[in-house]
Amino acid sequence: MFRLTGFELEKLWGKRRFRLSCLLLLLLELFLMWYTTLPAEGKAGLSAYKAFQKQISAMSEAEKQAYVTGLKETMDGMALVQDVLMLQGMGNEMGDRLAVQAMKSAPGVFEACYERYQRGDYLTFTDSFWQEQSLIEELYEEWEKTAGYGAYLQSVQERGSVLGGIGIFGGTAGGEEEASFSARNVKKSAEDYAGLSDERIRWMPGKGLIGAMNNVWTDIFLLLSVFLAVGDLILEEKEKRLFYITKSTRYGMGRSMGAKLAALFLHCVGMAAVLYGVNLLFYGVTVGYGDLGAALQSVAAFRESCLPVSIRAYLVLSVLTKGLAAFGFGALLAAVCMAAETIYLPYGVGILFCGVSYILYTAIPGASRWNLYKYLNLMGILKTEHYYGGYLNFDLFGHPVPQRLLTWGLLFLLAAAGTAGSLWFFIKGEKLALRDGRLPAISFFRPHAGLLRHECYKIMIANRAALALLAFGLLAGYREWGQNYYLSVQEAYYQDMMLRLEGELTEEKEQLLLSEQARYQEAFDQVSQIQEMVSRGEMDERAGEDLKAKYNAVTAFYPAFLRAWEQYRRISGEGLPTRPGGNFVYDTGYLYLFGVKGEGTLIDLILLCCGVILAFGNAAAMEDTGGAWNLLGSTRTGKRKVLLYKACLCGASAAVVSLVPFACRMARIGMTYPFRGLSFGAGNLPCCSGVASALPIWGFLLAAALSQAVVLAMAALAVLALSAWRREPLGAYFLAALLLLVPLALLMLGFAAAEGFSLYPIYSWTARLS
Which stretch of 251-260, 355-364, 710-719 has the lowest confidence by average pLDDT?
Answer: 251-260
Q: Is the confidence at residue 7, as pLDDT, over 60?
A: yes
Annotate 232-277 with DSSP letters as a single string: IIIIHHHHTT-HHHHHTSSSTTTHHHHHHHHHHHHHHHHHHHHHHH
pLDDT at 66: 93
Query: Residue 239: pLDDT band by 50, 70, 90 thresholds?
Result: low
Which stretch of 9-13, 179-183, 708-712, 740-744 has the lowest confidence by average pLDDT?
Answer: 179-183
pLDDT at 2: 67
Per residue in 155-198, pLDDT (tens digit) is 888 877 765 554 443 444 444 445 577 888 888 888 888 888 88
Per residue in 147-157, pLDDT (tens digit) is 988 888 888 88
Enclosing H/E stretch for 376: none
DSSP 8-class letter at 294: S
User: How far apart are the C-alpha atoms of 566 and 768, rounded to whole Å?
Assistant: 20
Reduce the DSSP state of residue 394 to 3 states and report it.
strand
pLDDT at 280: 94
Which stretch of 51-55, 380-384, 438-442 has the lowest confidence by average pLDDT?
Answer: 438-442
Strands 583-584 and 503-504: antiparallel
Which stretch of 286-290, 451-455, 462-466 has the lowest confidence by average pLDDT?
Answer: 451-455
Show contacts of 641-646: CB within 8 Å, 24+ apart.
641/451, 642/451, 642/455, 643/724, 645/451, 645/452, 645/455, 646/455, 646/459, 646/619, 646/620, 646/720
pLDDT at 553: 77
Q: Are residues 205 and 135 in contact, defined by beta-carbon separation less than 8 angstroms?
A: no
Given 3-state DSSP classes, what are the helix, strand and coil percentages for the chain, each rounded to the nearest 5? 70, 0, 25
634 Cβ neighbours under 8 A, 6+ residues apart: none
Q: Are residues 181 and 400 in contact, defined by beta-carbon separation less than 8 angstroms?
A: yes
CB atoms within 10 A of CB 527: 18
* Of the candidates 266, 382, 280, 276, the residue with the CA atom closest to the CA atom of residue 322: 382
pLDDT at 464: 82
pLDDT at 577: 54
Reduce the DSSP state of residue 172 to 3 states and report it.
coil
When pLDDT is averaged across residues 491-495 and rounded to a whole number, the result is 89
| Residue scoring higher pLDDT (544 or 274) | 274
Which stretch of 56-70, 82-96, 466-480 has the lowest confidence by average pLDDT?
Answer: 82-96
Per residue in 123-132, pLDDT (tens digit) is 889 888 888 9
Strands 399-402 and 583-584: unpaired
| Residue scoring higher pLDDT (557 or 413) | 413
User: How far apart are the C-alpha atoms of 462 and 301, rounded to whole Å?
Assistant: 47
Reduce the DSSP state of residue 308 to 3 states and report it.
coil
User: How far apart are the C-alpha atoms of 622 and 635, rounded to whole Å?
Assistant: 19
Per residue in 259-300, pLDDT (tens digit) is 888 989 999 999 999 999 999 999 999 999 988 999 999 999
pTM greater than 0.85 (yes/no)? no
Show contacts of 574-582: CB within 8 Å, 24+ apart.
579/505, 581/504, 582/504, 582/505, 582/681, 582/683, 582/684
When pLDDT is averaged across residues 652-656 and rounded to a whole number, the result is 94
Percentage of the chain modeled with pLDDT above 70: 87
DSSP 8-class letter at 234: I
User: How far apart are the C-alpha atoms of 752 and 765, rounded to whole Å?
Assistant: 16
Q: Is the confidence at residue 571, as pLDDT, over 70?
A: yes
pLDDT at 169: 39
Query: Residue 442: pLDDT band by 50, 70, 90 thresholds?
Result: very low
Enclosing H/E stretch for 49: helix 46-56
| Residue scoring higher pLDDT (383 or 546) | 383
Which stretch of 411-425, 532-546, 599-613 has the lowest confidence by average pLDDT?
Answer: 532-546
When pLDDT is averaged across residues 435-453 and rounded to a whole number, the result is 55
* Of the candidates 589, 567, 570, the residue with the CA atom closest to the CA atom of residue 676: 589
Sketch the domain layout of the chain as residue ranges.
2-36+212-428, 46-192, 451-486+590-768, 503-584
pLDDT at 445: 47
| Mean pLDDT of all residues belonging to the chain | 83
